[in-house]
Amino acid sequence: MWLGLAIGNSRVRWGLFSGEALRASHCSGHFNAPITDHDSLAACLPAAWCEHLPAQPPLYVASVVAHQAPYWQAYPHARAIALAQVPLRGTYPQLGLDRALSLWGAGEVWGWPTLVVDAGTALALTAADGHCRLIGGAVLPGLRAQQRALAQQTDALPETSRLQDLPPRWARDTETAIASGILHTVSAGLQSYLADWWQQSPGATALLTGGDAALLYGALQAQAPTLAERLRCDPHLIFWGMRSVRAHQPGG
């Protein structure tokens, strides 16, 4: 048994693996105390997991949050994954590790060429060709980040809680208007990228992942059902990438 740990900007994701099989996944907040031994590790995990774990399981870590490093680096069996370990071709030094791992995981499981749309704190689109080479992508503020930006950068606009379903396009109250502006424009932009992607690579895959994947997929289903039918949702892409990287490491 081993653990995968993906530390993102908003949350921490855990994967419980038996060999190459993902047995369970779990989300938690960022660390506020170091992991040093079995007990402190177990405190972060669902109780049911601890029944199956060895005394000190290997912990493979992919993090994009530098200030969280001291918390997991204290664990003696932590193994950090670096961008250089991802076999994706044509990467650049500033490419986010989460983007690279999710893209690699998508290609390995779903086939190449592939496009990954990660609907997280940032909304990131990342594509690779049939030779496992990075084509490129785009990054913009995620749905919640846009929502928070309006509340923080204006005097009168509230932080709406209505990002749940696709709202009416022409809203008649402020909170619904904010939700409409965010969801309709992000969905329209994503439709443009998807149409361009499938024009370039007609038989390619496209996958949606991330915390707001279900919300964004629902918006696409309502606005562009034909495109949505071709889009696949997979919440575990980063774990598939981590699994592949681990398998190619000595002792993996």
Q: Which of the 8 DSSP states describes residue 168?
A: P
Among 15, 244, 205, CA closest to 116 = 205
Peptide bond between residue 113 and the one before it cis (omega within 30 degrees of 0): yes
Number of neighbours of residue 72 by Cβ within 10 angstroms:
20
How many other CB atoms are found less than 10 A from the CB of residue 200? 13
| Total residues belonging to the chain | 252
Neighbours of 172 (CB within 10 A): 7
DSSP for 34-71, please give it: ---SHHHHHTTS-HHHHTT--SS--EEEEES-GGGHHH
Cα(201)–Cα(191) distance, rounded to whole angstroms? 15
SS3 call for 139? strand
Which one of 37, 39, 98, 173 is the catalytic residue?
98
Structure tokens at 117: 């749309």
Annotated catalytic residue 98: yes
Give the residue numbers marked as catalytic.
98
